[in-house]
């Protein structure tokens, strides 16, 4: 029994780490060493289970963290896609507005050009009409002046002719009334050219 007790003390001093290291007794494996081995294995198992649980918890935490990062990445990707779509829509709308304003400016410029051309054409037509009317009035005024001058010329000629005739008749009448004067035939009235002054009576007639 003393041998067995010494064996137990030696076995307790160093617990085997695997079944192959268990000491062999008289009736099989040593009980104390076997118990120590099982106890060590149980502790190792518990430690491994604890480490496994810790690793699982860490994996779950990392999985959740990866999921959060993935969700954030997806949200960022969606935001980028939305921002790109909004930017494209804004760009298309801006280009459409610019094109519309460009067409409006071109239409307004064409309208102003057409209005200017119409105003210039109307002004030219009015100027032509004014010049034509001025020419007509000038020609009419010239015709009136020419007619008035001709009428005045005819009146002057009639006046000169009548004055010559009256003057000759008056001289003849005076001569016929003077005593000792034989009546002389009345001279033929001289024709007075247009615009010429009638000749004054001669000195002999005036003296008579």
The model's pLDDT over 27-85, given as tens digits with 9 standing for 90+, comes to 566 677 778 888 888 899 999 999 999 999 999 999 998 889 888 888 888 888 999 99
Residue 90 is assigned to a structural domain of this protein: yes
Q: What is the number of structural domains in the chain?
A: 1
What is the extent of the structural domain holding 70? Answer: 2-155+158-162
In a domain, 187, yes or no: no
Whether 179 is in a domain gets the answer no
- Check if the beta carbon of residue 5 is closer than 8 Å to that of residue 25: no
Once rounded to an integer, what is the mean pLDDT over residues 163-172? 80
Question: What phi and psi, each to the nearest 5 degrees, are found at residue 28?
Answer: 130, -155
- Does some domain include residue 128? yes
Q: Determine, yes or no, domain membership for 171.
A: no
The encoded tokens of residue 195 equal 């615009």
- Percent of residues, the chain, with pLDDT higher than 70: 71
């Amino acid at each position: 029994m003393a041998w067995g007790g010494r064996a137990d003390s030696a076995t307790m001093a160093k617990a085997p780490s695997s079944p192959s290291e268990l000491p062999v007794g008289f009736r099989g494996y040593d009980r104390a060493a076997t118990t120590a081995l099982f106890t060590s294995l149980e502790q190792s198992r518990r430690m491994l289970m604890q480490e496994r649980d810790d690793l699982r918890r860490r994996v779950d935490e990392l999985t959740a963290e990866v999921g959060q990062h993935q969700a954030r990445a997806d949200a960022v990707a969606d935001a980028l896609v939305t921002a790109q779509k909004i930017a494209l829509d804004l760009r298309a709308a801006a280009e459409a507005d610019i094109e519309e304003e460009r067409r409006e400016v071109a239409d307004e410029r064409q309208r102003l050009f057409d209005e200017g051309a119409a105003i210039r054409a109307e002004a030219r037509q009015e100027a032509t009409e004014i010049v034509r009317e001025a020419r007509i009035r000038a020609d009419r005024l010239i015709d009136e002046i020419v007619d008035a001058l001709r009428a005045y010329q005819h009146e002057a000629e009639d006046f000169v002719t009548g004055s010559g005739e009256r003057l000759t008749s008056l001289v003849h009448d005076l001569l016929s009334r003077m005593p000792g004067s034989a009546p002389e035939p009345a001279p033929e009235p001289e024709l007075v050219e247009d615009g010429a002054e009638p000749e004054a009576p001669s000195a002999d007639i005036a003296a008579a």
